[in-house]
Amino acid sequence: MEKTQKKGGFASGIGFVLAAAGSAIGLGNLWGFPYKTADNGGAAFVFLYIACVIFIGITIMICEIFLGRRSQSNPITAFKKINKNIGWFGLLAIIVPLVITFYYSVLGGYTVKFAVNSFWGNDGNLANFAGTPWQVILFSAIFIGFALIVVMAGVKGGIEKASKILMPALFVLLILVVIFVLCLGEGVAEGLKFYLVPDFSKITGKSILAAMGQAFYSLSLGMGAMIVYGSYTGKEINIVKSTGMICIFDTLIALLAGMAIFPAVFHFASVEGISHTELKLDGIMLMFSTLPKVFESIGFFGNIIEFFFFAMVIIAAVTSVISIMEVSCQFVIQKFKIKRKIATAIVAGLTFLMSIPIGLSLGNLLNGIDKLTVFGLDFLSFLDLVTNTVLMPICALFSCLAVGWFIKPKQAILELEQDDNKFGIFKTPLAIMMKFIVPALILIIEFFGIKDLIFPGNVFSANGLGVALVSLAIVAIVIAVYFIFLKKSETGTNLDEID
């Protein structure tokens, strides 16, 4: 078979793996995984999570990278090449990451502010910072600026180069923080026990769903990123091996993050003579309220470790956001045949504008002000629910359907075997996974996700229904836009990027 023609993509296989790992390793690893692990039976959840990565994550990631690589183009063209009527799967895979970019940039701004402030102290800073609009806007702009610089410099000169420096840096910082925390003495053993000792009685249907959802989000599946990064690779990468490496890195960082967070929190609780249950351990509160308190109670070294910690969070957030910003930039470059610099400026400008109301709305929430809300939620939580609960699983499902039902597993496996993969007796199980099992599992996640949205705790929530309906409306608009404007028109390939 002819070699895949490649233009302007990653220079090396390891560059691709690090960039894709950079996309995967993000806030989901640093605050989502540790908390969910502790909540769902410690090591028992880790086994479950790894099973989900192996049985769902790997298959979807292979499908997504494969779709990108065989098309050497943006997601719309990638799906159009398979069948003109499914090109809208690709438009959805561009819109979802664009929406995520808007709110992720606000959180990115928070991490920059907290890193800068580490030495002066962040304890009690959250509501104050969040409620000062000019600061929130300024720091979101700085964060978007970081992403802009990298994406503007292109795939090889920007994304690949940045990932090659930043990913090892993140790893070193995390190891330093873990070593420091493990040496704190008091409370450390209890923290590790809480985090890792398996408690199989906590494994329920809900924890299986939590593990599936986490695997999904953490591996950056269903957000176009892997299709786009895949499109910048050629035959020099082995898709199956690369996928394995990305999944291992991602899981390792998530596990290590928990080894930094829980011993530190338990140490603090023990020194203060309080129970860990009095501390907020999830999401925004863990990262921006509890952890600063914990680090700052240790004194000067604590401040330094706090700085390392937030520097690491910034790196994780930047390498993630560039992957989703690249999705929309690639499409704008290829569809409108404009230069990368202009396309990036347009996307970053739009991101900045959209981040303003989102930042203000989150600030209100953190200050207990009931303004700028939609369906009773702040804008950030609303968009997070729309994308994570409804749209991302749909996008991932479409990637699987495209490979399992349109290209057909036999053909996909044949093409993958040209990368020196020898599937042998695993051929049939892999085909069954691609075609039936993984799509079915995604449908289960989607079903329970939406059910939980509309009937949280089994009571009807009109707001949840609102979120679900808005999500479906977005899908309907995407379908209409595709069939009216994009199906018949040229949507470009990587060869269209103007130097």
Query: Which residues of the shown chain bind ligand PFF in the complex (CB under 6 A)?
Result: 23-24, 26-29, 100, 104, 217-218, 220, 320-321, 323-324
Q: Are 83 and 75 in contact (CB under 8 A)?
A: no
Q: How far is the CB of 327 from ligand PFF (least distance, A)?
A: 10
CB atoms within 10 A of CB 321: 27
Q: How far is the CB of 321 from ligand PFF (least distance, A)?
A: 4
How far from 322 is each of 229, 231, 417, CA to CA, in Å?
A: 11, 15, 31
Residue 38, SS3 per DSSP? helix
Q: How far is the CB of 480 from ligand PFF (least distance, A)?
A: 27
User: Cβ closer to ligand PFF: 26 or 75?
Assistant: 26
User: Cβ closer to ligand PFF: 108 or 154?
Assistant: 108
Q: How far is the CB of 178 from ligand PFF (least distance, A)?
A: 19
How far from 218 is each of 12, 204, 282, CA to CA, in Å?
A: 24, 21, 16
Ramachandran area for residue 220 (φ above 0: left; ψ -120 to 50: alpha; else beta): left
CB atoms within 10 A of CB 27: 21
User: Cβ closer to ligand PFF: 76 or 215?
Assistant: 215
C-alpha 374/C-alpha 386 separation (Å) is 12
Q: How far is the CB of 215 from ligand PFF (least distance, A)?
A: 10
Q: How far is the CB of 362 from ligand PFF (least distance, A)?
A: 16
Q: How far is the CB of 361 from ligand PFF (least distance, A)?
A: 19
User: Cβ closer to ligand PFF: 268 or 382?
Assistant: 382
Q: How far is the CB of 24 from ligand PFF (least distance, A)?
A: 5
User: Cβ closer to ligand PFF: 88 or 217?
Assistant: 217
- Whether the CA torsion 370, 351, 130, 39 is positive or negative: it is positive
The terminus-to-terminus CA distance of the chain in angstroms comes to 29
Q: Rounded to 5 degrees, what angle do the CA atoms 212, 392, 251 make? A: 40
Sort 371 into a burial class: Cβ within 10 Å, 0-12 / 13-18 / 19+. exposed
SS3 labels along 409-428: HHHHHHHHHCCCCCCHHHHH
Helices 392-401 and 58-71 pack at an angle, to 10 degrees, of 70
User: Cβ closer to ligand PFF: 223 or 407?
Assistant: 223
C-alpha 141/C-alpha 414 separation (Å) is 46
